[in-house]
């Protein structure tokens, strides 16, 4: 896949690069996305399960969903798209990754400068004490899992109707506000407040590139829309950047 020279030239080593990912980056690892054809679980939509109300009224159902996802993710491997983003972190001195994904695959791929802005489903939080611990057991021995204090444990993720972690949000706004280049990968760009990040970056003068299999609500406003699977496009992009640097 030959990308335009103009695009490749945007990726200079000195640029402050931010990558923003959604479920599409993990699709080629075999992890279902939320709003695509594979988006439903037992006919429920993510908006019906990923809420405090759903957890309060039926913690068992919500945990069955998370336990099912944890089982799939545990068997999944980072794909070439994840690996390309991990290599970008090593190449660009000013690099940050903001992910909406809770699967932990970017860290497994080798990224460290990550903001998991919707949390991480391998972390469990006591609803009473607020303590957070990592638990990688699949399947979980008890559904819903309980804390030693007897209270329920919940996934340490941000549900609909819940505010995002303040530090993560402030840090993300700062990165978006001063980046030169924003690469948006595999998100339907509908979930707020993250869905507004690309427009915010564009407004302050960043060059915005979107990688997605399909057009999204932001595709018409980005500088370059690369249509196709992230697992193919990102390695091609990275290869041509490295070639350009080598010249
Ligand atoms: C909040 C939980 C303050 C963890 C998730 C303003 C306007 C309108 C609504 C709101 C607003 N402000 C707040 C809201 C409400 C709500 C919201 O945005 N609702 C939406 C549905 C309209 N937002 C919130 O509640 C947020 N909180 O703002 O706090 C507040 C508080 C109270 C009241 C008001 C405000 C919290 C949002 C976080 C919700 N939690 N997940 C979990 O279990 O996962 S969101 C969930 O959606 C996931 O985190 C996911 O990451 C995220 C976004 O989805 P995507 O990642 O984009 O995935 P999707 O399937 O949609 O798309 C995949 C894309 O990949 C597609 O485009 C597809 O084409 C592409 N693709 C597929 N394969 C590939 C590919 N691309 C490339 N290659 C491939 N191979």
pLDDT in single tens digits along all 247 residues of the chain = 888 889 999 999 999 999 999 999 999 999 999 988 777 777 888 999 999 999 999 999 999 999 999 999 999 999 999 999 999 999 999 999 999 999 999 999 999 999 999 999 999 999 999 999 999 999 999 999 999 999 999 999 999 999 999 999 999 999 999 999 999 999 999 999 999 999 999 999 999 999 999 999 999 999 999 999 999 999 999 999 999 998 6
d(CA 121, CA 108): 14
Range of the domain at 62: 41-75+120-157
Query: Which one of the listed residues 82, 106, 118, 156 is annotated catalytic?
Result: 118
- Measured from the CB, is residue 84 less than 6 Å from ligand 1? no
Please confirm, yes or no, whether 118 is among the known catalytic residues: yes
Q: How many domains does the chain have?
A: 2
CATH number of the domain enclosing 179? 3.40.50.1220
- Measured from the CB, is residue 48 less than 6 Å from ligand 1? no
Q: Is 130 left (phi over 0), alpha (psi -120 to 50) or beta?
A: left
Alpha carbon of 116 to ligand 1 centroid (Å): 13
231 and 125 in a common domain:
no
Q: Is 228 left (phi over 0), alpha (psi -120 to 50) or beta?
A: left
- In this structure, is residue 134 part of a structural domain? yes
pLDDT at 68: 96
Alpha carbon of 3 to ligand 1 centroid (Å): 29
d(CA 47, CA 45): 5
**Closest residue by Cα to residue 81 from 153, 30, 15, 152:** 30
What backbone torsions phi and psi does residue 94 show, to the nearest 5 degrees? Answer: -110, 85
Residue 109 tokens read as 């791929």
- Measured from the CB, is residue 234 less than 6 Å from ligand 1? no
State which ligand 1 atom lies nearest to the alpha carbon of 69. 43
pLDDT at 65: 96
Query: Which pairing describes strands 207-212 and 224-227: parallel, antiparallel, or unpaired?
Result: parallel
188 and 153 in a common domain:
no
CATH number of the domain enclosing 54? 3.30.1600.10
Alpha carbon of 101 to ligand 1 centroid (Å): 9
- Measured from the CB, is residue 104 less than 6 Å from ligand 1? no
pLDDT at 128: 98
Angle 23-26-28 from CA coordinates, rounded to 5°: 125
């Amino acid at each position: 896949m030959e990308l335009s020279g103009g695009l490749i030239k945007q990726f200079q080593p000195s640029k402050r690069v931010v990558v923003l990912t959604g479920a599409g980056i993990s699709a080629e690892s075999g992890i279902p996305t939320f709003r695509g054809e594979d988006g439903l679980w037992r006919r429920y939509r993510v908006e019906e399960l990923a809420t405090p109300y759903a957890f309060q009224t039926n913690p068992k159902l919500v945990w069955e969903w998370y336990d099912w996802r944890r089982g799939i993710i545990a068997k999944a491997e980072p794909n070439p798209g994840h690996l390309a983003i991990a290599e970008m972190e090593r190449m660009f001195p000013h690099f940050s990754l903001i992910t909406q994904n809770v699967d932990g695959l970017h860290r497994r791929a080798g990224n460290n400068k990550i903001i998991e802005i919707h949390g991480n489903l391998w972390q469990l939080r006591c609803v009473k004490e607020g303590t957070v611990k990592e638990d990688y057991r699949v399947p979980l021995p008890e559904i819903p899992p309980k804390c030693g204090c007897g209270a329920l444990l919940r996934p340490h993720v941000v549900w609909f109707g819940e505010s995002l972690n303040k530090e993560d949000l402030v840090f993300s706004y700062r990165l978006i506000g001063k980046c030169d280049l924003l690469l948006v990968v595999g998100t339907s760009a509908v979930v707020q407040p993250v869905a507004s990040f690309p427009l915010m970056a564009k407004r302050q003068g960043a060059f915005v590139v979107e990688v997605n299999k399909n057009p999204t609500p932001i595709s018409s406003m980005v500088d370059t829309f690369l249509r196709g699977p992230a697992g193919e496009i990102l390695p091609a992009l990275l290869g041509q950047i490295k070639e350009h640097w080598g010249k």
